[in-house]
Structure 1
């Protein structure tokens, strides 16, 4: 595996570190939405890697090595020497918000034989990540890993962009399939958030749209808890996500709010919030988040046969808001576990995709650090 990385700052060209020639590389380009709106961004990257498979995604912060950047673009180009990749894309507009069907159509484009892992870069503004995952996992007689994340737009929640081999645009979902017997790919996630306050029951919801808690308008209740911070919704919701437990035996999932509808008094969350689920508010601290990142890295490293050569990190924008000027500490914690020889890239997101530890089925998470580790 050969890896080249670069950084582009506003009004500057890419600065490529340790540039070497790569053959048909996978080129991951994560960046600030305003910078990826440039009509020249694809041509600029394509000039650097004319035979590359170029995947773009907007962010709420860019990760490269143990640094967290804002308002920049980070590039990671990977040549797999013994393995192969296949990239496919689709758009939510073509499926009329039927995200499960989109996932089913997308996974059907990937040959089943030797598919080791699917890494997904999804638009993050409107997609129901739970439904998308359910569709992507609808592939019979095949076992493959699934991880990835929802693109971000800092804390603006205006629009997110992604693309494959073209300028980034709205509504895109890009899936990267990894094939090869020599590939070792592991993924994990962990949060570090603590529940508090009364437990309530979801009495009315549809998919990722939340109407009522305990028979009362959910948005009104949430605003009551937020107090003065309610005026800053949906940004302020990142500091107080919801713990959602669908059944007594299920692992709780963390959900953050993507949008609110003042007229309908509803909240749109990044993933499903089933009726009958028990929910609580959550909060965290800088130390809890840093420790959570370290534990996520330990889970990803557990049972690996080989040291990872590449680590793709997707962490939630809510964690970044809590960490503030200490954000890089959670990346440093990850690096301390995966090792100095592992190339690190990634971004801050509106949602993370990974299975719970010890499970095969992928879930949509919020407020977690998610790692996907690669070696050949």
Structure 2
């Protein structure tokens, strides 16, 4: 098992100070989940001279649990650094550069497959108009079935203005960052849990393009939300995320979709994932602490099957934080108690994870868990 440190920092300079704090520790990889309040360009400028491959996302809140620091944080950076064998991982930053979401995903998948024969991906995606579901579909199209892909859409403290992904070499407000692990040396397992339930009547998406929905039941999508929630335009962005749409797919499966941006002039909503024309949808909601109890039960079941980890990553939806507030700390504490290792994560605008059957999907209103095991004995 590699040596590692896990800590919260409140400035770019503090990140560097903590990493350089021991002459005996020489990290070869880092993960940083940071509030935009610290300045993402400033973080990149500070860590670049360290010459350590780093993968990072801006957040809508940070998650950290160690013996010395704990719980859900704000306006901080949750950081993990380790001296992992450099041959076991790789980091890359991807600018979209005019590519479609599918092409962006294809590039990430191809890079991962060219790096390792059997890769596992941790992926962050920036941009409030990126169709993250299609990015994930693009990665999956290149990789073998049930390849572990975990991550999320970057946040910006709930402002819904501009989000970032970054590495030690740069940052992007419309792209992706990824770290791949060699699964012959590093085990990555994951699961997901939600708790949102459908409410109200079925509706039909009557006009859409990718992840942009123009009309529902032949009415502007913004009007549907305003009438249902009795909101004006200014409150729609802030409160609408807590009442996402539950969409039924042609195969009968259901998926939650949250919108990330509002175009009041056109009456359209841009969702984190695709909502095709003709899709049947209805509003959904949570019931407070019930989603926490459910996620903890599912964590316990998952731990029974996967008791070993050196690091736990949590990607939790920002809307879950709004719905459950400080009660979400119980999830972090449960993960820490079950695996007894550092827990690091972020609140996202969309989640990527593998379900218990190993199938990867893009989610909203969900907690995605990834276990990283650096033990040499993977038998």
Q: Same fold by TM-score, threshold 0.5 exceeded?
A: yes
The equivalent position to 2:362 in structure 1, one of 358, 361, 364, is 364
TM-aligned CA distance change 1:22 to 1:107, over 3 Å: farther
The equivalent position to 1:88 in structure 2, one of 81, 88, 92, is 92
| 1:37-78 deviations in Å (ceiling 9; x for gaps) | 353x2343345xx24111221000011114110011121112
Deviation at 1:84, TM superposition (A): 0.5
Counterpart residue number, 2:110: 108
Deviation at 1:112, TM superposition (A): 6.4
Counterpart residue number, 1:74: 78
Counterpart residue number, 1:117: 120
Q: CA–CA distance in 1 between the matches of 2:149 and 2:252?
A: 20
1:303-342 matches, cutoff 5 A: 303-304=305-306, 307-336=308-337, 338-339=338-339, 341-342=340-341
Counterpart residue number, 1:256: 258
Question: SS at the partner of 2:188?
Answer: strand
Counterpart residue number, 1:285: 287
TM-aligned CA distance change 1:369 to 1:46, over 3 Å: same
Deviation at 1:5, TM superposition (A): 1.4
Counterpart residue number, 1:128: 131
The equivalent position to 2:239 in structure 1, one of 229, 236, 239, is 236
Give the conservation status (yes or no) of the 8 Å contact 1:89–1:175: yes
- Compute the TM-score of the two structures, normalised by the length of structure 1: 0.89
Give the conservation status (yes or no) of the 8 Å contact 2:61–2:73: yes
| 1:351-374 deviations in Å (ceiling 9; x for gaps) | 0001332142x2110110110101
Residue 358 of structure 2 is aligned to residue 353 of structure 1: no
Long gaps (5+) in structure 2? 375-379
Deviation at 1:168, TM superposition (A): 3.3
Where is the strand percentage greater, Structure 1 or Structure 2?
1
Deviation at 1:252, TM superposition (A): 1.0
Residue 274 of structure 2 is aligned to residue 272 of structure 1: yes
Question: SS at the partner of 2:222?
Answer: helix
Counterpart residue number, 2:64: 64
- Compute the TM-score of the two structures, normalised by the length of structure 2: 0.89
Q: CA–CA distance in 2 between the matches of 1:212 and 1:20?
A: 60
TM-aligned CA distance change 1:280 to 1:335, over 3 Å: farther
Deviation at 1:28, TM superposition (A): 0.7
1:214-233 matches, cutoff 5 A: 214-228=217-231, 231-233=234-236
Deviation at 1:167, TM superposition (A): 4.5
Deviation at 1:264, TM superposition (A): 1.0
Single out whichever of 218-227 and 6-15 deviates more from structure 2: 6-15
Counterpart residue number, 1:177: 180
Long gaps (5+) in structure 1? none
Deviation at 1:21, TM superposition (A): 4.0
Deviation at 1:166, TM superposition (A): 2.9
Give the conservation status (yes or no) of the 8 Å contact 2:245–2:282: yes
Where is the helix percentage greater, Structure 1 or Structure 2?
2
Q: CA–CA distance in 2 between the matches of 1:57 and 1:187?
A: 19
The number of residues matched between the two structures is: 366
Counterpart residue number, 2:377: none
Question: SS at the partner of 2:322?
Answer: helix
Question: SS at the partner of 1:138?
Answer: helix
1:129-144 matches, cutoff 5 A: 129-139=132-142, 144=147
Q: CA–CA distance in 1 between the matches of 2:80 and 2:87?
A: 17
Q: CA–CA distance in 2 between the matches of 1:303 and 1:327?
A: 23
Q: CA–CA distance in 2 between the matches of 1:142 and 1:113?
A: 15
Q: CA–CA distance in 2 between the matches of 1:237 and 1:318?
A: 9
